[in-house]
Amino acid sequence: NAGVTQTPKFRVLKTGQSMTLLCAQDMNHEYMYWYRQDPGMGLRLIHYSVGEGTTAKGEVPDGYNVSRLKKQNFLLGLESAAPSQTSVYFCASSFRQGGNQPQHFGDGTRLSIL
């Protein structure tokens, strides 16, 4: 039982390049989330999904897109990477609404934009 798995673990991009971060969960959770973690800023929600085929914006969605074509996968895309997107990205999932349920996190993707 792997829980929440994120790939890749590390990536260095040049400004303007694109990439996709993959999150996979094997807990049959309905809800999935993408956060970014920056020093002193805590965890900020980028986008989230309340079920297969649905997505919604969080508090810092600009510059990112997401897709949830399968229940177990949640993809985060950067179409044109910018240095301000250098961060650690975490995916999380929860069985039901995340507002009062435990969220299970992956181990993160460390992304540097040069």
- Our CB check for other proteins shows the closer of 67 and 104 to be 104
- Our CB check for other proteins shows the closer of 20 and 105 to be 105
- Our CB check for other proteins shows the closer of 12 and 79 to be 12
In the complex, minimum distance from the CB of residue 80 to other proteins, in angstroms, rounded to a whole number: 26
**Owner of token pair 């996709």:** 20
**Residue 109 token pair:** 């993707």
Cα–Cα distance between 17 and 77 in angstroms, integer? 11
Kindly provide the residue ranges of all beta strands, DSSP E only, lying in 1-114, ordered along the sequence.
4-7, 10-13, 19-25, 31-38, 42-49, 56-57, 64-67, 73-78, 87-94, 104-105, 109-113
In the complex, minimum distance from the CB of residue 4 to other proteins, in angstroms, rounded to a whole number: 7
> What residues make contact with other proteins under the rule CB under 8 A?
4, 31, 33, 35, 40-45, 48, 50, 56, 58, 90, 92, 97-100, 102-108
In the complex, minimum distance from the CB of residue 63 to other proteins, in angstroms, rounded to a whole number: 19
Cα–Cα distance between 10 and 32 in angstroms, integer? 21
- Our CB check for other proteins shows the closer of 13 and 48 to be 48
**Owner of token pair 């914006």:** 57
